[in-house]
Amino acid sequence: MAGVQEASAPSLSKLRKVIKEAFSYFDKIGNNTVQQDEVGTIMRYLGQFPSESDLKDIIIPELLDEDPSRDGLVTFEAFEKVMLRDLMDRVYDPDDSETLLAAFRVLDPEGKGYIDSNLMHEHLSTRGGKAADGFREREMSEFLEYAKDKESADSSKIYYEDYVAKLTADIEKHLEHLYQDARGSGGGPRGGM
């Protein structure tokens, strides 16, 4: 049993270091706190992708319960505790490419292989029927810029197989670089996605 603990200790220390570095990017005045609205950005940078309603209804209240005297600021200690748990339990890990493709195919019942960007805008602005989970305007324009086919004469189409391949490769590369086996999974952050 001691060997298992020793093997995971460096992994945990690396994970803590990565969380601290990410948190520090947003800790503007160096007092170990960040604004609530930055928590989702930090979590996504660290490879966890909660919905906006999960952030608002579950995560932020839990973080603020840890230290209610902080006037709505989130402390590093509270954030680290939640992030370590969520990373270890893979609570908000990104969906795999097959799940993403299945979701896109629902929006493409004719099987054309693409989705019109205006239709995508409509779906993403009220994700899941809840405006709270919808993309903000800046997120929407960044998504469309990333997702549209830049080589096509008609840039109003999102070829979702290409998009999913590009997205999963970029996320995998980012997480691999960020963690460099800090989770101790042996196959990268997703265990070989």
Q: What is the pLDDT of residues 96-127, one digit of tens each?
A: 899 999 989 999 999 999 998 888 888 887 76
pTM for the whole thing? 0.74
Which of 54, 26, 56 is CA-nearest to residue 42? 26
- Quote the percentage of the chain above a pLDDT of 70: 80
Rounded distance between C-alpha atoms, residue 170 and residue 55, angstroms: 24
Collapsed DSSP state (helix, strand, coil) of residue 75: strand
H helix or E strand, kind and range, residue 115: strand 115-116
Q: What is the pLDDT of residues 18-56, one digit of tens each?
A: 999 999 999 999 999 999 999 999 999 999 999 888 999
User: What are the beta bridge partners of residue 103?
Assistant: none
User: What are the beta bridge partners of residue 157?
Assistant: 116
